[in-house]
Amino acid sequence: MQTERLRYTPSPELVKRVRLFLVRTLWHEELTQAMVLHARERLAELSFPSEKVHELVVAGAFELLHAAGAIVRRYAWKRGFTQLVAIQGPTQIQSNLRLPPFFQGNFDSKLRSQFLLESPGPIGYLQPYEPGAEGELPVVLTLGCILRGATEHNRYLATAVIQQLAQLNLSAGVPIILGVLTPDTLKQAWERVSQAEDWVLSGFAAWEARLAIAALPIGASPIESPRSDPSLPGAS
């Protein structure tokens, strides 16, 4: 089997900031251990520090979701918040006070109010991880194998696992690298274990793109009215 390899080498500066979590399954353990071995070989070529590689083991592919979510919460889970809330808009007030005739009954008014909403701690929520200028760059590499069987179980399982990992990858701000094989046979799976070398590189490449995006200049806010430009028709 011939597959195209990922031609990419991360910079030494990027390598220093990454922390890698290798999450593999006990199902098809020899296979997933071989994936880890290939991943570590590629990391050694990059002189990646061994103390920044964490190997975690779960039962099967479905449990990868639990472990990946727990890792993400270490970086993206925030406890408590302070938020300034402003309320402004039309409202209708009904008063039972004795007022002059022209104020009696219902009348339209405008409500302007501002208050501080604060939680001391027990409330928690996910906030996409932003590392800052020198912050750590976590990567989660999930390794497993969902083998085709005599029933449709593999399809349902693969769909659930891949969709949820994709959602976590989208929302958490931490790259979740998909290293879950979905072959028809174990022979096909063993032919693909070396791809773990490229999956490792995918994590570095993901952060390189994120950092490049963060450095891009930001244009005008999309909520700003174009009529603020005096050269446009209708501008005051």
Active site residues: 153
Strands lying side by side in the sheet with 18-25: 53-58, 18-25, 137-145, 176-181
Distances 234 to 193, 223, 226, 227, 230 between C-alpha atoms, Å: 63, 18, 10, 7, 8
Spatial distance between the Cα atoms of 231 and 210, rounded to a whole number of angstroms: 36
Q: Find where tokens 């991880």 sit.
A: 129
Rg value, the chain, Cα: 26
Spatial distance between the Cα atoms of 138 and 68, rounded to a whole number of angstroms: 11
Task: Show the beta-strand stretches assigned E in 6-154.
Answer: 18-25, 53-58, 77-94, 106-126, 137-145
